[in-house]
Amino acid sequence: ENKIIVLSHTGSHSSLNNLTPILKKYEESIFIIGHSGLCPQVSEAIHVAKECPNSYLEMSGNPYTYKFIEAIKDPDIGVERILFGTDIPSLHPRVEIQRFFVEITRSSYNLVFYPF
């Protein structure tokens, strides 16, 4: 009934603390956390993703590469729930993509960034 995909722009003027109860209520829906909270809230976004398997971390424009590397390796999140480019990259996409290439396996890279 509620099988919809929701993309929400997140950042300094959004509250990720309110997401968890909503995501748990609508478990059939998929929620994309645009920019994963940007700088001020990336840890909160990752916490939400750990608690709610119907949430996905979108990483464009977020400078905390190491946080996404940790999320990729985290069994509660994993590479399958990391997305790129769904909420407008702030840098040239090639620059954003290269930040991750040296840190993750080729197969993980291909799941996040569709192979060119």
DSSP letters spanning 8-45:
EE-STT--GGGHHHHHHHTTTSEEEEEGGGHHHHHHHH
- pLDDT tens, residue order, the chain (116 aa): 668 999 988 887 778 888 899 999 999 999 999 999 887 799 999 999 999 999 999 988 888 888 998 999 999 999 999 998 766 766 777 777 777 766 778 888 788 876 65
Contact 97, 91 (CB under 8 A): no
Q: What is the pTM of this model?
A: 0.83
Least Cα distance to 58 among 16, 1, 2 occurs for: 16
User: How far apart, in whole angstroms, are the C-alpha atoms of residue 9 and residue 38?
Assistant: 9
- Residue 49's SS3 state is helix
Tokens linked to 2: 């509620």
Residue-range domains of the chain with CATH: 5-111 (3.20.20.140)
Positive/negative CA dihedral, 29, 35, 37, 42: positive
